[in-house]
Structures are given as C-alpha cells and as structure tokens.
Structure 1
Amino acid sequence: MTFEYPTVWFLLLLLALPWLIWRLWAARGRGAAKFSSVEIAGSLHKTLPVRLRWLTPAMRIAAIGLLILAWAGPMEGLEKTRLFSEGIAIEMLIDRSGSMRAMDFSIDGKRLDRLSAVKAVAEKFIEGDGKTLPGRGGDMIGLIAFARYADNISPATLGHEYLVSKLKQLKVVETRQEDGTAIGDAIGLAVERLRTLKIRGDSATEGKKHSLKSKVMILLTDGRNNAGDLDPVKAAELARAMGVKIYTIGVGSAGPAPYPVVDPFTGQTMLRRVRIDIDEKTLERIAKITGGRYFRATDTDSLRNIYATIDKLEKTKIQDRRFAEYRHWAVKSVQIGPITAPPLLLMAMVLLLGEGVLANTWLRRIP
C-alpha cells in the first residue's frame, strides 16, 4: 500500500485533541443537581445507554480518523508488464520442384531428400532448437512454395502453429505438368503479400503490442528460373522498391547429386548421379539488388548455419514495459485477506450518520 499524499499523516495528531478535551474538561462540562443524599442513586443498576455513553464520541473520532486516512490517498498498486515487440515480417519461399527430390542431405546419419532437410531446418528456424536457433517468436512469418506455379501456403502470422503444420505438409511435385521453377513469380507473390500485410495473431499474443521493423524474404531453391511470367531480376527490383530485403539460398551439393529414378525394366527405385544446375549468378544478383546476401548450402549443417546467420542479421527487438494500476481505498472496496472492507469514505459517512442518530435518540444526554 502507498499514499498519494503522505504529508497529510500529520493531521492524525488531531485525533489526540478530543481525548485531551475529554480528560481536562469532562468534569467541568457535566450538568449537576443538588440532592440531600446520593445513597439511593449509588445502589441503582447502570442501564445499557449509560454504559455505552462512550460510543458516540468513539464513533466520531473513528470517522475523523477515516476521513484523514482517505485524504492521505491510500492506494494499492497492481503491477503489470506489457511486451512491446518490434518484429520482422518474413516470407519464406521454398522450392518444391522435382529436383528437390535429390538425396544429397542427411540428418542424424539418415539420408534425406533436399526438401525434407529444408523443412526440418526451417521448422527449427521458426520455433528454435535451444542451441544456435533461438526461434522467431516475435516475427510474422508466411510461407510460399513454388514449382511451375507459386502458391501462398500460409499467410504471414504471429501464431506459428498453423505455419509449421503447413510447412510439414509440403511435398515435391509429382507430375511434369506441375514441375518447373518459377522464382520470379514466387518473389512477385511474396512482395504482394508483404505489401498488403496486416498484423494478425492469436490468443497467445495477448498482452503484447507489435510493430513491424522490416520486411524480408528467404528464397531457397536448387535450380534456375524456367517457368512463370515474371523475370527474377525484375521481381527483385520490385521488392527493392517496396523496401523488401531478399536473402537467397542455393541448396544442393557440388557436382552430380544422387537422384531417385525408377528402373524401367525392374520397376525398382534406384539412385543415379544427376547434375542439377543452380543459377548462382541470378541468386547473387537478386540478393545484391535488395541489400540481402546469397548463401550456398551443400549439406544440412551448412544449411543450419545459414539460417543461424540470417537469424543474427535480422534481430527482433522485444522490450517489456511495466506499469501499475492503482486501486484507491478511499472510494474502492479493500480486500483484506478473506474479508472485503467497504471504501474508507463510506465507512466514515456511516459512522458520522450513526453517531448523529444515536446521540439524538437512544444515547441522548440531558444536560
């Protein structure tokens, strides 16, 4: 408990004044009548009003004390903390063309295709792994997957549960009609999504206030642009005009990569070395135009390190501010343990009213 006007406490000295007056002048202020003898009066039993004649002065003094206490402004502060997050809007652009089926990545000794490794590392980038990747809890992240066409898989959001679930569902395209690498269209779609972005979240973000510090893309591919209508460099220039930075990642081992193919004679799937070209010059140019960086991931560890580097380059600023809401005891009820006491001013008014009624009725004194 604190006091809004602590200097008022000296007025509590006034409480001693009625007591001093009563002690010094009580005998002089009493009315008297002469009797020949008071023996009979001494033997009379004292009535209840006589025994409670101290009650009305006590009620008045208590009321004065409560008024002085209310004047001092006692209040109870309820401290609260609100998080203000200056986050980043991130669009993750992931290639799911047929070449992402190449089996040149591994996790824990188990050979995986490129897309599976990318999904595993990207999930840790979003949620954190407790080691090099702390997670992007304060950022709005969206997901776009592309092959021949660019598809908006998840809108940018602060609630990452849905995003991660859609990321896990990504699959490499299965038909020639779907296959291709539309890098320019994917960038164009991401620019449009970031341009129209509005902050949205879920119940987990209550008590937090968010603003966007910057907008970035993380473009990951293992090929070259061979589909779509928009040229990747023109798309990068559009992103720069919108203030969007693009980090590009070329994924895939150097040289021919093991690629699963079906033997036409036996029908069995076997790995065959296939050369898959990555257009690194275009990826470098996209990054340079927008102020980003180009990275090359040749295995799972290097891919994890790349995401860790991007995580350090694009930091989210989170600041907590503390404030207090005060409950003024003078006009608000007070919780004292299991008891809820009424406001101080109300108690003072009740005491003064009760003192006035009793002094003029049941406890009335005749001079």
Structure 2
Amino acid sequence: MSFGTPLALLGLLVVPLLIVMLAIGERRRRAQSAAFGTPALLAASLPMPRKTRRLMPFALALVALTTLIVGVARPRATLSVPDRSATVVLALDTSRSMAATDVKPSRLAAALTSARAFLDVAPKDFAVGIVTFSTSASVALDPTTDRDAARAALEQIRLGSGTALGDAVDRSVAAARSGLSPLQPLPADAPPATVVLLSDGEQTSGTRTPRAAAGQAKKLGVPVNTVALGTSDAVVEVPLKNGLKERVTVSPDARTLEEIARVTGGRFTAAPTAERLEEIYRDLGGRLGKKREEREITAGFAGVGVVLLLIASGLSVAWTRRPL
C-alpha cells in the first residue's frame, strides 16, 4: 500500500496521546473513588460491565479516528479490476497424438469443447483469435469479437501429424499483436495481449525452438499460458508404409510447456482429464478478464471510519447517557 499524502499520517501521533489521556483519567477516577470508600466495597457496588461500557465507545472512536486519518493520507492499493479490452489467441495442438483417448472422448475433442467453454466465459469485448499447429502453425482465425466466427473456426479444425511447438508460439504472438511490426513491443496504452497454448507432446517439427520463441514473446510483452493435455501412458496408432500400424506412446512435454510459461510470464497447468481441461479454460476466461491496477481507496477508509464513529457515539449514548 502507498499513500498520496503520506505526511497526513503524522496525525496518527494523536492516537497514543489520547490513550495516555484516557489512562490518566481512569487513574484519577480510581483515586477519587478510593477517597469515598474501600476498594472492596466499590468493586461490589460497581460491577465490571459498567467500566467496559464506559471504555468501549472510546476505543471504537479511536479506531474510527485512526481509519479516518489513514483515509486523509489517500491510501492506494493494487487491486484486481475488470479489464474488458484485450486480445487472446487460443493455440491448439492438432498433431496426430491428439487422437489419443486417455482424455475422453479424445484429446482433440476435449480441447475443442473446452475452447468453446472459454468463448462462453471470456468478456464479450475480448478479441479472440485461433491458431492451429501440427507440422506447421497457421492462423485459423484472426482476433475478433465475433464469437460465432470463432465457433465456426473451431468446427473446421482437423488432425495433422507433427508438433511445431516453437512455430506455434511465434505465430500466436504475431496474431495477438496484429498491426504491429515483428520487433515492436506492445505500447504501454495498448490493450493487453496474451496466448493460451494447449499441447500434448514434445516438438517434432518446425523451424523455431520453443525456448527461442518464448524469449521473443517475452521481449514483445506477450505472456503465453500453457496447458499440458493428457497422461503419460497414452498411445496412438501410427500407420506404416506396409499397411501395418505402430503403437506409439504420446506423453505431454510438461517440462517444455512449463518453461515457455515461466519465461513469458504466463501460467502453466496440467490437464489429465477433460473435466480438468474445461475447468482450466473457464478459469482462464474469468481471470484474463481482470487486470492488476493501483487505485486510491480513500472512500473505503472514510466509510469505515464514519460507520465506526456512529457506532461508538450510539453506544455511548445508550450506555452512559452522554455523547462521546
């Protein structure tokens, strides 16, 4: 927390002074009472609740005064606030391994279902683009706020073969920064851009390494959130030239995906089931609709201080028949 007028906090020095004055007043009250009777008799005739009722309103008033002084100092805090203008690119792996059925009904079908769920929860003003990648990466849909176009693009996605993970990061970052030159960082006043990349395997094709692509995304200010889809023991059947088929284990390359997220400032998550994948996409849709922003919270402190002061005054009148 920071303060717009920190010198106003010097007013807090009044609080301990008032506490000292209260202690002195209580000491005088006890001395005067002792002069007119024995302590034991006074303790019997003046029960403890009476003292509590006398002091509690004063204590609440001190808390109210402290809160109001802090409010005068114009406190500022970093809050999570709605961000209705942003660009999100969904990068979907369409390699042959996405046919694996360890994620029901299949990895690709679960990915498409979850992408549709993301479209349902993402703020309507978000521009959403779609990139698909197998042996190469291509833009299936340029960023747009047209959700019907996005759903139609998802319906056209089909399986490929290899996994060009690095190329996918490059192409997704370029799509998220539409209209900017390849080396131009996002302007400070530009809407934020981010990538949500889902993959189920390690890189097997492409011209760009995932590490190099992640480094470039970091320089350009585009975080890449990564999702590792599937389990480590899933298999797919790969057709051979002689008409036979080979069973190949297809495990997600969680280490590479985690590194991409870490380097770019994104978030990595694992999705071993369709339910978990949909949960991740829905969470991302809601979280990407927020941004961290420093805001002044003077009104909150002022409101709490006034409420406490009114409560203290009301208790004082009710219990001691006099205002504070």
TM-score normalised by length of structure 1: 0.50
Amino acid at match of 2:199: T
* Of 133, 137, 146, the match for 1:150: 137
Change (3 A) 1:160 1:264: same
1:259 paired residue number: 236
Q: Which has the higher strand share?
A: 1
Structure 2 unmatched runs, 5+? 1-81, 181-188, 292-324
Kindly state the Cα deviation for residue 163 of structure 1 after the two structures are TM-superposed. Answer: 1.5
CA distance in structure 2 between the aligned counterparts of 1:264 and 1:188, rounded to whole angstroms: 33
Q: CA RMSD in A?
A: 2.8
SS of residue matched to 2:163: coil
Kindly state the Cα deviation for residue 196 of structure 1 after the two structures are TM-superposed. Answer: 2.5
Kindly state the Cα deviation for residue 273 of structure 1 after the two structures are TM-superposed. Answer: 6.5
- Is 1:180 paired with 2:158? no
Amino acid at match of 2:109: S
CA distance in structure 2 between the aligned counterparts of 1:235 and 1:163, rounded to whole angstroms: 25
Task: Describe how 1:201-350 pairs up with structure 2 within 5 A.
Answer: 213-255=191-233, 257-260=234-237, 274-315=248-289
Higher Cα radius of gyration: 1
Amino acid at match of 2:153: K
2:13 paired residue number: none
Amino acid at match of 1:163: A
Kindly state the Cα deviation for residue 283 of structure 1 after the two structures are TM-superposed. Answer: 0.8
Kindly state the Cα deviation for residue 188 of structure 1 after the two structures are TM-superposed. Answer: 0.9
CA distance in structure 1 between the aligned counterparts of 2:235 and 2:251, rounded to whole angstroms: 14
CA distance in structure 1 between the aligned counterparts of 2:235 and 2:205, rounded to whole angstroms: 24
1:168 paired residue number: 155
Q: Which has the higher helix share?
A: 2
Sequence identity (%): 29
CA distance in structure 2 between the aligned counterparts of 1:113 and 1:101, rounded to whole angstroms: 6
Kindly state the Cα deviation for residue 138 of structure 1 after the two structures are TM-superposed. Answer: 1.7
1:321 paired residue number: none
- Is 1:159 paired with 2:146? yes
Change (3 A) 1:230 1:195: same
CA distance in structure 2 between the aligned counterparts of 1:310 and 1:252, rounded to whole angstroms: 19
SS of residue matched to 2:223: strand
Count matched residues: 202
Task: Describe how 1:68-107 pairs up with structure 2 within 5 A.
Answer: 86-106=84-104
Amino acid at match of 2:278: R
SS of residue matched to 1:303: helix
* Of 163, 178, 185, the match for 1:196: 178
CA distance in structure 1 between the aligned counterparts of 2:214 and 2:240, rounded to whole angstroms: 41
Residues 223-266 of structure 1: CA distance to partner in whole angstroms, max 9, x if unpaired?
Answer: 111211111111111111111011001101232x253567999x
Residues 268-304 of structure 1: CA distance to partner in whole angstroms, max 9, x if unpaired?
Answer: 99xx974213221111111001111111111111101
Kindly state the Cα deviation for residue 212 of structure 1 after the two structures are TM-superposed. Answer: 5.4
CA distance in structure 1 between the aligned counterparts of 2:83 and 2:228, rounded to whole angstroms: 31
CA distance in structure 2 between the aligned counterparts of 1:234 and 1:86, rounded to whole angstroms: 31
Kindly state the Cα deviation for residue 155 of structure 1 after the two structures are TM-superposed. Answer: 0.3
TM-score normalised by length of structure 2: 0.57
Amino acid at match of 1:114: R
CA distance in structure 2 between the aligned counterparts of 1:149 and 1:301, rounded to whole angstroms: 28
Residues 173-216 of structure 1: CA distance to partner in whole angstroms, max 9, x if unpaired?
Answer: 2xxxxx21111111111222222249xxxxxxxxxxxx953110
Structure 1 unmatched runs, 5+? 1-83, 107-111, 129-133, 174-178, 199-210, 318-367
Change (3 A) 1:148 1:313: same
